[in-house]
Amino acid sequence: MTLSAALSAMRRGVPVLVHDDYSREDEVDYVIHASFVDTDRVYEMRTLAGGLICYAMPLAAGRLLGLRYAHELFASVPELAPLAGRRLGYGDHPAFSVWVNSLKVKTGIRDRDRALTIRELDRVASLVYSGRVIEARRLFVEGFAVPGHVPVLLGKRLGERRGHTELSLHLAMLAGMTPSTVIVEMLGRGEALSVEEARRISRDKGYPLVEGSEIIDEVERLGEDLYCRYNLCKS
């Protein structure tokens, strides 16, 4: 029932609150499909949620654009390689790739600017999923600058990694939408926002709260068919 409400909200551009797992980060992220992001949504992300506003796409799509994980890039710099090999307590390498700005923005950090950069990234991703990879690469190379104010995350399959990056992308796919999402951690004072407080916000705002395990179970039920819809079968 909760997953059904989350999928319906995703399709309508309503944010979804996703709790990963009590044994992992034990955090709730504000998640929305990138195509619905506008200035007001970015303002809400930074004031209601408060964490880092990130754009996510599947690793396979990022590879087609020439993207690599940030830890891979830093590992190629001798002075930074020792730092790139370290991991935090939850165990995974972070999903960060590059940080970008659209060339259409003014400074990059303003709500309007970040919304524009996110929508331009969604345009690039949509071209990739429609098979127009050369056009997508051209738009990406000619339309963005690095470093910028929107971090790009590259998501793996849920069998490889089960972070909010992956959960949000699979939620989009389950909703029948392109895997192109924006996620931001929900924070309290000094700590992650508790699941109990996230439930209050869920009730007050009408944003469904879904457990990561519900997303994982449905993805495992559908299997390879889910990925084939987006030309990700072999990724």
Domains of the chain, each with CATH number or no CATH:
2-228 (3.90.870.10)
Q: What would the pLDDT profile of 141-163 be if each residue is shown by its tens digit? A: 999 999 999 999 999 988 888 88
Residues 12 and 177: beta-carbon distance below 8 Å: no
pTM: 0.94
The mean per-residue pLDDT over the stretch 164-170 comes to 95
Q: Higher pLDDT residue, 134 or 89? A: 134
**Closest alpha carbon to 184 in 131, 89, 111, 108:** 111
Band (pLDDT 50/70/90 cuts) for residue 187 is: very high
For residue 22, the model assigns a pLDDT of: 61
Q: Tokens 């990879």 appear where?
A: 133
- Per the CB < 8 A criterion, the answer to whether 16 and 207 are in contact is yes
